[in-house]
Structure 1
Amino acid sequence: MATLSEIETWLHDRLPALLAEYEVPGAAVGVSFGGEVIDHAAGVLSKATGVEATADSVFQIGSITKVWTTTLVMQLVDEGKVELDAPLRDYLTEFVLADDAAAAEITVRQLLSHTSGFEGDIFNETGKGDDAVEKYLATLAEVTQLFPPGEMFSYNNAAFTVLGRLIEVLRDKPFDACLREYLFTPLGLKHAATDPYEAILHRAAVGHIRPTPEAEPVPAPVWALNRSMAAAGAMLAMQPRDLLAFAQLHLDSGKAADGTQVLSAASVEAMQEPQVKVPALGLMGDSWGLGWELFDWAGTKVIGHDGGTIGQGAFLRVVPEHGLAVTLLTNGGDLIDLYRTVVGHVVKELAGLELPALPTPPAAPVQVEVDRFLGTYSCEVADVTIRQDEDGKVWLDQTPKGIFAELGAKPEPVELVGRDEQSLIALKPENGFHSPHVFLGDDGTGRALYIHSGRAMRRAPA
């Protein structure tokens, strides 16, 4: 096994070349192991300014924020202010959906485990004030239910914004203030920012996007998503060491470095218990806990989460058995290839673990009942159409909607081939990943009711 010092040397020697290879403008890496922490950064924070990335630079952590939000909810559970299996409306009477019966049934646990069943990618703009989350809840009144609460997994950003409002109501203060008081302060975080106004006080990374699939990454036109989505991961930014301090909290049974009990050991354990199985999608966990993604790496339990905002991507993996946590924070480019190289090296050298292989198209495509999959599936941020051309090839066409259409996203058609009886997979990789698409359910005519690629998208009405 390697030492942390050897890992640090490897990062120093290899990270700049890896960034160039994968067209990643800048990145910062942090590793916590055996009570010691190392960090290293390379590249630039913005290709427009050329400012150097350093280990104390702040990058957005995106949806890793959801584990922070879950921790704030579990603190309320510890205090007896929230019961996980109680309907949310017991605490948040303002929670509304188009399906009122479902809204009345949905529990806190279902929101935390992405099983509440309502449309989840609702990026409604409600301003930049402290009331942004409060205003957001009213905008859910027309949001549809994809499936009955608790039936299956479907990644849900809106659910965590709802949980952010739950925290605000029970703490009687804005979500950002709760983050600072109940997590930043007891953890002693020095380079964590809840919004652009704080981030600009530090060396802040700017996201980079590709104008076309073949173009080099360029600075994104905006820095963050809407403030209303803060609890889901819209803008929380920090240095690797601060994210590792949070991870260490979950390795040390809820205790901060100074011994303060920030979260009960029981709640730490509960967050890591499987709540729902996830379709076989490759990069996501095998199952989901409360907040955490749960992975099985050849029999070793790994917890973690990924995050993606506008041109920034973050990865966190924690191996409790080995007392290891590693994070990679980036600002554009081929993130998955960089993740697999850097995080893969760290976990292999320090814990003897191999990253599971990503899904790839089979050498001989599996013959599937294509007619069952064909058609259009729709959600708030995109329409996805599965079609077959005259040569028998199957294609996925995606039409972005809402904020993603406004950003000018124009995805190219993606050719799909049979992966197994229930799924198709992209023939060519995008950013180092062949995206699988699992088809579930039956619309009553023998056709699939959902296409699932992390989120369940329902077949559009004929």
Structure 2
Amino acid sequence: MPPARSLLLSAACAALLSGLALAPVPASAAAPAPAATQAAEDAELRALADRLLAQNAPEGAPGIAVLVARGDRVLYRGARGLAEVELGVPLSPDQVFRIGSVTKQFAAAGLLKLVEAGKVGLDDPLSKYVKDYPNGDAIQVRQLLDHTSGVKSYTGIDGYMHESIKRELNTGELIAVFKDLPADFAPGQDYRYNNSGYVLLGAVIEAASGRPWHEYLRETLLQPLGLAHTRYGDVRTLIPGMVAGYARRDGAVLPMAFLDMSQPHAAGALVSTLDDLWRWNRALHGGRVLSAQHYREMISAHGKARHGEYGYGYGIGRMPMHGRLTYAHGGGIFGFASYLLYEPTSATTVAVLSNDESGAPGGIGLEAIARQLGAMAMGAPYPPARAVPVDAAALASAEGVYRLDPQRAWALRADAGSLAVQRIGGGAPQRLTPVAAETFVYPDGIARLRLERDGTGKVAAMRYFADGEGESERSARSEEALPAR
């Protein structure tokens, strides 16, 4: 439903591509456009990127860096904002950022390299590598990869992210933080995104390789692929090109809070650059990292990790972008936010990095920036949201509570010639743009809400289209009273 999606996602869905389209597609697969047409399309994309940066990265504040590429050709590389607010140092697209949970696809690929080497089995029990983990005989390695293990996420422990996250911990000490917490569900019986599973995955890598997880990734993936700026983000080391990270409170820019980077572990402790992430996409999705079998395993959604035809693979999400299957992941960590996207049929990469942990304060968010640019780069841009007048009485008739399930419901209210939607129990209201009598576009310019009326003309439900079309979620109108604003 409304953008509280963390790709992490659950990022939503549309028509599934054929099995052939799931394989890596070389940049030359699509017929080239005539030179004049190509130049016009490139100029249009650059204008959109400049506009999105201007709208989402205020001057004199932390900023956003963006790269868009089709195959081996960079279509746009740019940045706006400050790398160091205190000194007024401008942000540049070649600087180094924490990438948070985008780390997970590197860890997943590293684990699959161990599978290919015969040192790990996807169906192996966790207990083979972490000897004393509770119920470790029932948890499979593959369930750590796709968040179906049921282990409790340590980053969700009340208060943990305030003080405990500052401690330097080794792998065993970090596992001890959450190992005795009750499981969220039995292994394989549900899907819930969590960071503890990737700490355990790091422990499996260490047990099977005999190396610290990040050293193993450096030796096995990063160095061979020439990713010179992608590394463990050790806070006790000077990292050339590293930008400062920031947070916000009541709109004011503040230095980021401290966390020891031993704790994000294989779930989120790498740093990188736009160009390294582009090269990583080209290598991973171009068949230079994994065998065809294990690449297919990584990008597929299995069991409870499926969400319709999409869902979560191994360290990477499957989501629609204007009706095409894409592989994507976001990251959020103290001081920074990130988003990396790949669309296979056009070999389009979009990488977006921010040194503001809110991503795009007051803007549309890094995911929406990436998706808008990706759709434009693949030649199928999202349509602009052009407002149309809507009858005030029709808007008033839609006011009410709409419930998807016992845990999730939304309030719709008339708001200055349109509707505003708000998740009940959390989240700020979002003012929608009416583009037809019963259809409204979210601030990200992508997601749409459509009203459904019954035979009497009464609004009976609302449908949420995360990709603006295709699959939707239907929330029925409830008899509950609208909560106070």
TM-score normalized with structure 1 length: 0.70
1:428 aligns with 2:451: no
1:79 aligns with 2:103: no
1:61 match? 99
Q: Is the deviation greater in 78-87 or in 45-54?
A: 45-54
2:369 match? 342
1:48 aligns with 2:86: yes
Q: Deviations over 1:237-275 (max 9, x none)?
A: 11101111111112211x1xxxxxx32222111111112
Distance 2:166 2:254 in 1: 28
Distance 2:341 2:61 in 1: 20
The alignment partner of 2:349 has SS state of: strand
Aligned partner (choices 337, 344, 349) of residue 325 of structure 1: 349
2:147 match? 114
Aligned partner (choices 286, 300, 308) of residue 324 of structure 2: 300
2:193 match? 155
Distance 1:199 1:5 in 2: 40
- Higher RCO (C-alpha 8 Å, min separation 6): 2
> Structure 1 residues 8, 300: CA separation in 2 closer, same or farther (over 3 Å shift)?
closer
1:10 match? 47
Whether the aligned pair in 2 keeps the contact of 1:24 and 1:331 (CA below 8 Å) is no
1:201 match? 239
Measured after TM superposition, the shift of residue 353 of structure 1 is 3.8
Percent same amino acid at aligned positions?
Answer: 27
The alignment partner of 1:176 has SS state of: helix
Distance 2:176 2:350 in 1: 38
1:186 match? 224
Which blocks of at least 5 consecutive residues in structure 1 are unaligned? 256-261, 375-385, 387-392, 395-413, 418-423, 436-462
Aligned partner (choices 268, 272, 279) of residue 245 of structure 1: 279
1:30 match? 67
Whether the aligned pair in 2 keeps the contact of 1:30 and 1:327 (CA below 8 Å) is yes
The alignment partner of 1:287 has SS state of: strand
Q: Which amino acid in structure 2 is aligned with residue 311 of structure 1?
A: G
Measured after TM superposition, the shift of residue 41 of structure 1 is 1.9
1:220 match? 256
> Structure 1 residues 365, 159: CA separation in 2 closer, same or farther (over 3 Å shift)?
same
Distance 1:221 1:126 in 2: 9
Which blocks of at least 5 consecutive residues in structure 2 are unaligned? 1-36, 385-394, 413-420, 432-441, 448-485
Q: Which amino acid in structure 2 is aligned with residue 209 of structure 1?
A: A
Distance 1:48 1:41 in 2: 18
Distance 1:11 1:354 in 2: 10
Whether the aligned pair in 2 keeps the contact of 1:277 and 1:288 (CA below 8 Å) is no
> Structure 1 residues 217, 278: CA separation in 2 closer, same or farther (over 3 Å shift)?
farther
Distance 1:149 1:58 in 2: 37
Measured after TM superposition, the shift of residue 303 of structure 1 is 0.5
Q: Which amino acid in structure 2 is aligned with residue 28 of structure 1?
A: A
> Structure 1 residues 20, 89: CA separation in 2 closer, same or farther (over 3 Å shift)?
closer
Measured after TM superposition, the shift of residue 151 of structure 1 is 1.2
Distance 2:103 2:96 in 1: 14
The alignment partner of 1:55 has SS state of: coil
Output the aligned Cα RMSD.
3.8
Distance 2:443 2:294 in 1: 36
1:144 match? 182
Q: How many residues align?
A: 370
Whether the aligned pair in 2 keeps the contact of 1:277 and 1:286 (CA below 8 Å) is no
> Structure 1 residues 80, 196: CA separation in 2 closer, same or farther (over 3 Å shift)?
closer
> Structure 1 residues 140, 338: CA separation in 2 closer, same or farther (over 3 Å shift)?
closer
Measured after TM superposition, the shift of residue 177 of structure 1 is 0.8
Q: Deviations over 1:332-354 (max 9, x none)?
A: 24536143563244223221345
1:210 aligns with 2:248: yes
> Structure 1 residues 47, 250: CA separation in 2 closer, same or farther (over 3 Å shift)?
same
